[in-house]
Structure 1
Amino acid sequence: MNIHIHTIVRSHIGKPVSSLLQRFLHCTSVKMVKVGDSLPSIELYEDNPTNKVNLAELAAGKKVILFGVPGAFTPGCSKTHLPGYVSKADELKKQGVGEIICVSVNDPFVMGAWGKDQNASGKVRMLADPSAALAKGLDLTVDIAPLGGTRSKRYSLVAENGKVTQLQVEPDGTGLSCSLADKIKL
């Protein structure tokens, strides 16, 4: 539904502000991804800006683990989150996982360098979401001003043939509890 904001405001002149906010939020709300949803057809980037990877195409016909992190080279992401998936990659792939994908709101050069630093090559694909298109598409954004603003919440999901079958989103968006590699149940 495409409603112009000025039309909404005009229709609420003289009414309580809360009714205007309810109307506006109702019209613009996005629902967080849930089990049963399809992964969106969004272009991510691997290693450089010319190497586009369509997430829906990448996930088609296989089981994938996708996990999002607030930022490359950040302490929790570099010390715990990504290393857990790198160390468990062989075990997860033996259980039928075709791809393990790490996504962050960073540029592809940063993601590539972070993957090299963490020895992720051949284990975890490091995909960049520079404009937060995927994070927004999944409604999994968080505003972290010291990291530049809009970032991805910390989460993990399993998708089979492009459909989400498991989803774990950290309660505060950034913690390290439910989205770790050892919490994936295959």
Structure 2
Amino acid sequence: MIKVGDALPHLTFNLLTQEGMSNPSTSDLFANKKVVLFAVPGAFTPTCSASHLPGYITLADQFFNKGIDSIICLSVNDAFVMKAWGETQNAEHITMLADGDAAFTKALGLDKETGVFGGIRSKRYAMLVENEVVSILNIEEEKQFEQSKAEVLLTLV
């Protein structure tokens, strides 16, 4: 499992924006940047939609004022779902990143099997990544939502 001080694995992602589909790499997203990355078990799910993503949307300016270059929301969903979810949540300042095959989530060791919920999904977490290296990592216990909240991470950056 990834830990503070580890470099992120080098993979590519699917990202659908107004300009179309792209396939940014880990380096494209994190090299020479200070990035907040948080992951949710699923787009459009109750806690993710009512609390997790909205917290980062609400506090985005405060993160940017603290020198954060970007905020990324990651889920094991496809890029079309992530784009639609971001649009319904007015997440224009958040990068809605798809990990469709869970390759990144598995490489981090933060995957979990959810059975009929959708198979392999991500554990809920938030991290600060500085130039591709994890400097803060808050992983939630199962069925918890405390450590990965935007309000908590904001106090640590």
Structure 2 partner of 1:45: 14
* Aligned partner (choices 74, 77, 82) of residue 103 of structure 1: 74
3-state SS of the aligned residue for 2:61? helix
Q: TM-score normalized by structure 2?
A: 0.93
**Residue type at the aligned position of 1:78:** S
Aligned partners of 2:60, 2:9: CA distance in 1, in Å?
24
3-state SS of the aligned residue for 1:43? coil
Structure 2 partner of 1:140: 110
Q: Give the Å deviation of 1:53.
A: 1.4
1:13-69 per-position Cα deviation (integer Å, ceiling 9, x unaligned): xxxxxxxxxxxxxxxxxxx00000011111111117941111233111110000110
Q: Give % identity.
A: 46
**Residue type at the aligned position of 2:152:** K
3-state SS of the aligned residue for 1:103? strand
How many residues get paired? 153
Which runs of at least 4 in structure 1 moved beyond 3 Å after TM superposition?
none
Alignment of 1:147-166 (within 5 A): 147-166=117-136
User: What is the root-mean-square deviation of aligned Cα atoms in Å?
Assistant: 1.3
Aligned partners of 2:48, 2:107: CA distance in 1, in Å?
22
1:105-128 per-position Cα deviation (integer Å, ceiling 9, x unaligned): 00000000000000001x110000
Structure 2: 5+ residue stretches without partners = none
Structure 2 partner of 1:21: none
- Asked which structure has the greater RCO (Cα within 8 Å, sep 6+), the reply is 2
1:87-121 per-position Cα deviation (integer Å, ceiling 9, x unaligned): 00001000000010000000000000000000001
3-state SS of the aligned residue for 1:84? helix
Aligned partners of 1:102, 1:182: CA distance in 2, in Å?
15
* Aligned partner (choices 53, 65, 70) of residue 82 of structure 1: 53
**Residue type at the aligned position of 1:111:** M
Structure 1 partner of 2:38: 67
Q: Give the Å deviation of 1:175.
A: 2.0
Aligned partners of 2:121, 2:91: CA distance in 1, in Å?
22
* Aligned partner (choices 129, 136, 139) of residue 99 of structure 2: 129
**Residue type at the aligned position of 1:42:** L
